[in-house]
Structure 1
Amino acid sequence: MPDVMMQAFEWDTPADGNFYKNLKKNAKKLKESGIDALWLPPMCKGGGDQDVGYGIYDLWDLGEFDQKGSIRTKYGTKKELLDAIDELHKNDIRVYADVVLNHKGNADFEEEFMARMVDQNNREKDVSGDIKIKAWTGFDFPGRAGKYSDFVWHYYHFSGVDYDSNTGTKAIYRILGDGKYWDEGVSHEKGNFDYLMNADIDHNHPEVREEIFKWVDWFMEETKVDGFRYDALKHISENFIYDLSKHIMDKKGNDFYLFGEYWQYDEKKIDGYLDDTDWKIDLFDVPLHFHMEEASKSNGSYDMRNIFNNTIVERHPLQAVTFVDNHDSQPGQSLDSWVEDWFKEIAYSLILFRKDGYPCIFAGDYYGLKGQVKKEPLKDMIDNMLSVRIKYSFGEQDDYFDNPQVVGWVRRTDKDTSSLAVIISIGDMAEKQMFVGEEEAGKNYVDLSGKNKNKVTIDENGNGMFNVGPGSVAYWVSEESIEK
């Protein structure tokens, strides 16, 4: 598996159509920085050239057809996309596509059909009888004119909508049909959390399944991507995702990487999802993200001994994609849970300097946020941490999680370089004795974070008394290893 992934976009990535061109231009630099894989934004046509990609319109249009006001997507044209992927591959960077299969938006025409209004907070409770409503559920893609697929979407391919234009009523409606109901195997929040937004796809419909499986085969061959990031897994039938993932792996083998967004804190529900999908899909470690957010907003009162409690990386390290923030958690977005700025370096040390998990860096941290809430780029800090990871973060790991405010760990190398001693304080200036190896006796250790100018001499037993400033992290290695 690649070493470090980057989410290459944030919600307010400029919509100038230059994203793919910039990726191609920066591919070599990204690889040299220590990025081995990129999670790209949704590649399919959304509601226009400003759409981040989650208002998904046409799966088969990757920026090739004049639809929804433009040929390109927010990120560029299909040719620019394929050129960027090719260049990333030349630089040994894997490419993961963000795949949005929960819903469709920005339909081409309205249709009338029978439905029932449901309780907003309990979608299994009907609050109306059978009524005729009118909604945007027709997709015939006139700009594409049947190229690649002549499939036309109608209301019976969906399970729900959120607007009736006959009455101008905004509410959640369950579409009626013979044997049709909300998908099973979804989150039980709101009774049944199948419905999220737009026209919700009915994954039980045989024509829908056939079309999506056909698209997946085409998309993998057309783009040559190396994996999928599944969007909105809480809202899609587990059985469908299992079947689709098995189909993909039968075609591509285990080297095609599948991971997804299952925005859930409850460990039993996470474990159940991993089990129900036969451990074919890795998941973002949402519990760890929430712990980081809580710690960053605790004014130093969070118990850092518990930072990994009930996280995916603690319980299922091979299934954990660890991250600090993403496009949904950034300020003002739907799952706003931003990790406070002072804690960012600490947070990245928790995913970059430990042995478990597949770390994912967020472009909104690396390049800065560019929306209404702006954040300065942390590129220099993260680049430095990546260089430390590449050179020092391997070998056995000894944890020193013995103080609520001050924790640390050591990666004891078995290679011809230094051990790595990491110490974190979310309170005052602190120090902690940690063992780095008897072979390190007599060596001077320096702080590669650049915050501590003193040196720590390792004693004859291989121990060092490492210090850290208030509310910060320090990462110590032998001075001798730097000069090699």
Structure 2
Amino acid sequence: MKNLFTAASLAGLLAAGALLSSCTKESMEPAGSAPTLVTTKSSSDATIANGVMMQGFYWDVPMSTAAGTWWQNLGAKATELKAAGITALWIPPAYKGSSKFDVGYGVYDRYDLGEFNQKGTVATRYGTIGQLQSAIGALHGQGIQVYEDMVMNHLTSADNQELANNQYNVYTSFTYPGRNNTYSNYKWHWYNFSATQQAPNNGWYQWAAYDFQPYANNDAYDNLLGSEIRYNDINNANETINWSNWITTKLNLDGYRLDATKHIQTTYLNRWLDNAKTSGRFVVSEAWFRNLSDMNNYAAATGGRTNLFDVPLHYTFADMSNGNGSWDMRGLQFAGFTEANGALSVSFVDNHDTDHTTGALFSPVSNLKMLAYAYILTREKGYPCVFYKDYYEYGLGAQIKKLIQIRQANAYGAATEYTSTNDADVYAYSRAGDATRKGLLLLLNDGGSSRSKGITTPFKNATLTDQTGNVSGIITTDGNGYATFSVPARSYAVWVPTGGTTTPPPTSGTTAVTFNVTYSNTTSGQDVYVVGSTTQLGSWNAANAKKLSGAAYPKWSGTVNLTSGTAVQYKYIRKDAAGNVLWEGGNNRSFTPTGTTATRTDTWQ
């Protein structure tokens, strides 16, 4: 969420109390002048091997579905999401908002996950804490990671009014009587905030300096909505980190989506990223900068600690959509933050804000949307995010699923931009493949008639078919990889060499893997477990981790049968009988089991 409301809609909500590896290039042409930036990022198995995340909600999702609440709906879809190739799900803010109707961004109590009778309801808009935990368990059981939406900028709908700085009578007293100090006894009062935005005139009442001055041509600024948290206050800073670590453990989270970060003090955000439980977990921030230079500057300011949504690329797609056939498709060449810093980019087509008709960020990709999805799902760079509403509500699921299958089977190897071949209507892009996967050739056409293009591909003396089903027939290239390829009007094609599959190659057999780890930082009642990315290793769910024997302490050992030939990510954890968990720090460990037996010998410092 960022600048979500128009002034009129925000006023109405307040008044109602409901506020809530670089590309190669044809003919060796220069690849552009994008700056080199820090590209360090958190490790996550969902981003490895062409993973795809899904935003698992949209604005004002129904409070009741065929499966029950929204949490129950997501849990019921775990199996089909796995089959679709979704490797991670971004869920909405899980904590209590201003009412049962609040979509989560009007944060009231971050420790109430649908457990306490507050604001006239126990459940949040999405359901109860038990339903949420069951949904996460179902998703983890299918190997799907879960990213929580972290709203850290503000609070709304206080319990009581108080006099701020002897100036203003404002609603800034958050004492949470319904929770009665469960999980935390931290209370919020006017001195914890710098300002608040309240009815009846929707005005700002400010009594302390904002944490930072506007920058990026005033596009980044502190005050967004509600009561603005002062992160210059070390107590607020520490409390938010404590809450973040609590919710990570409570929900067994695999990562985070950080809301409206251009409205949060950057030095504090960096401290949060360094001190919250982000090690081994994925983090992506919503820093809504339309300008690519601002995106690059923000990536540098955060030191590569967090991935960023590719907002400039979204607006490129929006321009294509608005052109509806008249836009120059060469604008897709080397486009967006994804090209400038692919290791930190999360590419997307639309989200809950861009699709929200009365929101300030309304900018939907209404036309030619599948061309945009074909672009991000075959790209060498970026971690693509699919929008739930596109997949389920707008009827694009079958097409998106097919593209994800093509991505996971064939989108590998060096990339080529065909700048001397592309024209105003047709964009071409290829992936050369690797030792075991055949690669692909993508063609996008926004024009009103079908087109053919002569292209020198990486595939010499090869036969290719369009795996999307949009074009029939077989194309054969010559000894230089050249052939003429077709693409329908206002559509796309992904040509794959014969032998390239649209589903990942099957594996057979198992490998008995013995895990040996030396670890001495335990006391009586504590044991060491191994947990990882496959179902045999618990799908990153600490409750399903495999216990190791400490008979040869400080060496802990155990054997697990893993699928041969399937890449594995894993870590060690320490757990006691009460379920308290300590995760090993650093990047995920990884290997591919082969043979009948294998041994992993590790040290956990």
TM-score, normalised to structure 2's length? 0.71
Q: Which residue of 2 aligns with 1:419?
A: 439
Is 474-483 or 56-65 further displaced after alignment? 474-483
Gaps of 5+ in 2: 1-43, 506-605
1:110 alignment partner, SS class: strand
| Alpha-carbon spacing, 1:245–1:186, altered in 2? closer, same or farther (3 Å) | farther
1:183–1:204 CA contact under 8 A, matched in 2 = yes
User: Structure 1 residue 480: deviation in Å?
Assistant: 4.6
| Alpha-carbon spacing, 1:479–1:152, altered in 2? closer, same or farther (3 Å) | same
Q: Distance in 2 between matches of 1:407 and 1:327?
A: 28
User: Structure 1 residue 360: deviation in Å?
Assistant: 0.3
Q: Distance in 1 between matches of 2:439 and 2:298?
A: 37
Q: Which residue of 1 aligns with 2:517?
A: none
User: Structure 1 residue 348: deviation in Å?
Assistant: 0.3
2:412–2:437 CA contact under 8 A, matched in 1 = no
The one-character-per-residue Cα deviations of 1:196-233 (angstroms, maximum 9, x if unpaired) are 11111111112211211221121111111011110001
User: Structure 1 residue 148: deviation in Å?
Assistant: 0.9
Q: Distance in 1 between matches of 2:201 and 2:478?
A: 74
Q: Which residue of 2 aligns with 1:10?
A: 58
Counterpart amino acid of 1:289?
H
Q: Which residue of 2 aligns with 1:334?
A: 360
User: Structure 1 residue 405: deviation in Å?
Assistant: 2.1
Q: Distance in 2 between matches of 1:329 and 1:37?
A: 21
Q: Alignment partner for residue 473 of structure 2, among 450, 454, 460?
A: 454
* Greater relative CO, 1 or 2 (CA 8 Å, sep 6+): 2
User: Structure 1 residue 272: deviation in Å?
Assistant: 2.0
User: Structure 1 residue 23: deviation in Å?
Assistant: 2.0
1:66–1:143 CA contact under 8 A, matched in 2 = yes
| Alpha-carbon spacing, 1:188–1:134, altered in 2? closer, same or farther (3 Å) | farther
Q: Distance in 2 between matches of 1:242 and 1:170?
A: 31
Q: Does 1:210 align with 2:241?
A: no
Counterpart amino acid of 2:182?
K
Q: Which residue of 2 aligns with 1:304?
A: 329
Q: Distance in 1 between matches of 2:61 and 2:239?
A: 31
Q: Which residue of 2 aligns with 1:276?
A: 301
1:327 alignment partner, SS class: coil
1:366–1:377 CA contact under 8 A, matched in 2 = yes
Q: Which residue of 1 aligns with 2:158?
A: 107
User: Structure 1 residue 171: deviation in Å?
Assistant: 1.7
1:380 alignment partner, SS class: helix
User: Structure 1 residue 90: deviation in Å?
Assistant: 1.9
User: Structure 1 residue 384: deviation in Å?
Assistant: 1.1
How many pairs are equivalent? 448
User: Structure 1 residue 442: deviation in Å?
Assistant: 5.0
Q: Distance in 1 between matches of 2:307 and 2:462?
A: 43
Q: Does 1:240 align with 2:268?
A: yes
Q: Distance in 1 between matches of 2:482 and 2:439?
A: 11
Counterpart amino acid of 1:458?
T
1:411–1:419 CA contact under 8 A, matched in 2 = yes
| Alpha-carbon spacing, 1:309–1:482, altered in 2? closer, same or farther (3 Å) | closer
Q: Does 1:170 align with 2:189?
A: no
2:212 alignment partner, SS class: coil
2:459–2:497 CA contact under 8 A, matched in 1 = no
Q: Distance in 1 between matches of 2:172 and 2:228?
A: 9
Q: Alignment partner for residue 180 of structure 2, among 137, 142, 145?
A: 145
The one-character-per-residue Cα deviations of 1:279-338 (angstroms, maximum 9, x if unpaired) are 101100000000000111113232222225562111111010000000000041331000
1:288–1:308 CA contact under 8 A, matched in 2 = no
2:167 alignment partner, SS class: strand
Q: Which residue of 1 aligns with 2:494?
A: 475
The one-character-per-residue Cα deviations of 1:49-100 (angstroms, maximum 9, x if unpaired) are 2211001110101111111111111111111111221221221111110000
Counterpart amino acid of 2:253?
V
Q: Which residue of 2 aligns with 1:436?
A: 457
User: Structure 1 residue 185: deviation in Å?
Assistant: 6.3
Q: Does 1:228 align with 2:272?
A: no
Q: Which residue of 1 aligns with 2:428?
A: 408
1:410–1:434 CA contact under 8 A, matched in 2 = no
User: Structure 1 residue 346: deviation in Å?
Assistant: 0.4
Q: Which residue of 2 aligns with 1:124?
A: none
2:97 alignment partner, SS class: coil
Q: Alignment partner for residue 68 of structure 1, among 119, 128, 151?
A: 119
1:185–1:237 CA contact under 8 A, matched in 2 = no
User: Structure 1 residue 417: deviation in Å?
Assistant: 4.7
Q: Distance in 1 between matches of 2:216 and 2:184?
A: 34
Within-5 A mapping of 1:23-102: 23-102=74-153
1:162–1:172 CA contact under 8 A, matched in 2 = yes
| Alpha-carbon spacing, 1:472–1:438, altered in 2? closer, same or farther (3 Å) | closer
Q: Distance in 2 between matches of 1:362 and 1:354?
A: 17
Counterpart amino acid of 1:452?
V
Q: Distance in 1 between matches of 2:60 and 2:484?
A: 44
1:219 alignment partner, SS class: helix
Q: Distance in 1 between matches of 2:76 and 2:321?
A: 35
1:96 alignment partner, SS class: strand
User: Structure 1 residue 36: deviation in Å?
Assistant: 0.4
Counterpart amino acid of 1:462?
G
| Alpha-carbon spacing, 1:419–1:200, altered in 2? closer, same or farther (3 Å) | same
Q: Distance in 2 between matches of 1:197 and 1:273?
A: 22
2:410–2:501 CA contact under 8 A, matched in 1 = no
Q: Does 1:292 align with 2:292?
A: no
| Alpha-carbon spacing, 1:189–1:235, altered in 2? closer, same or farther (3 Å) | farther
Within-5 A mapping of 1:249-260: 251-253=277-279, 255-260=280-285
2:377–2:407 CA contact under 8 A, matched in 1 = yes
TM-score, normalised to structure 1's length? 0.88
| Alpha-carbon spacing, 1:192–1:86, altered in 2? closer, same or farther (3 Å) | closer
User: Structure 1 residue 247: deviation in Å?
Assistant: 0.4
| Alpha-carbon spacing, 1:201–1:294, altered in 2? closer, same or farther (3 Å) | same
Q: Distance in 1 between matches of 2:321 and 2:159?
A: 45
1:339 alignment partner, SS class: coil
2:432–2:459 CA contact under 8 A, matched in 1 = no
Q: Which residue of 2 aligns with 1:182?
A: 210
1:15–1:49 CA contact under 8 A, matched in 2 = no
1:473 alignment partner, SS class: strand
Q: Alignment partner for residue 19 of structure 1, among 27, 51, 70?
A: 70
Q: Does 1:324 align with 2:336?
A: no
Q: Distance in 2 between matches of 1:113 and 1:38?
A: 41
Q: Distance in 1 between matches of 2:407 and 2:273?
A: 32
| Alpha-carbon spacing, 1:185–1:231, altered in 2? closer, same or farther (3 Å) | farther
Q: Percent identity?
A: 34
2:59–2:356 CA contact under 8 A, matched in 1 = no
